[in-house]
Amino acid sequence: MENPCQEGFCHNGGTCECGDKGEYICRCTSDYTGRNCTEPEKYLGSQALNIMVIVGPIVGFLLLIATISLIALFMMARKKRATRGTYSPSAQEFSNPRVEMDNVMKPPPEERLI
């Protein structure tokens, strides 16, 4: 019976171990997997999932806080604008800033009790 490990079935630094029935087992390095150590190990998928499990809720929480803050800021600005109007003087006030109030309205005469 021929030794299968002599034919170089294991790739990418894997070591070959012969079995009892003429089969072989490749012991792959940590970077590769598969029967002949030809498939790259997919660490990125599990690492990306772990990162997303951590980052996802944090980003969601920050977006929620930002949204609540913007709504509160908008409501406060709206309330402030409602209580404080803008003053726009008329053309007469611009041209003659000293307006005498005597000609506009005179107070009623005093009443005397007899």
Q: What is the pLDDT of residues 7-56, one digit of tens each?
A: 777 888 888 888 777 788 888 888 888 888 888 887 665 666 778 888 89
Whole-number pLDDT of residue 64: 98
Confidence check: pLDDT of 79 > 80: yes
Share of the chain above pLDDT 70, in %: 69
Q: What is the DSSP letter of 9?
A: -
Whole-number pLDDT of residue 68: 98
The pLDDT-based confidence of 90 (bands split at 50, 70, 90) is: low
Comparing 81 with 94, the larger pLDDT belongs to: 81
The alpha carbon dihedral of 50, 56, 61, 63 has a sign of positive
Per-state percent for the chain, helix, strand, coil, to nearest 5: 45, 10, 45
Whole-number pLDDT of residue 86: 64
Angle at 39 between CA 9 and CA 45, to 5 degrees: 160
Q: Which residues of 79-112 are buried (b: 16+ CB within 10 A; e: fewer)?
A: eeeeeeeeeeeeeeeeeeeeeeeeeeeeeeeeee
| Distance between CA atoms of residues 61 and 65, nearest Å | 6
Q: Is 0.85 topped by the overall pTM?
A: no
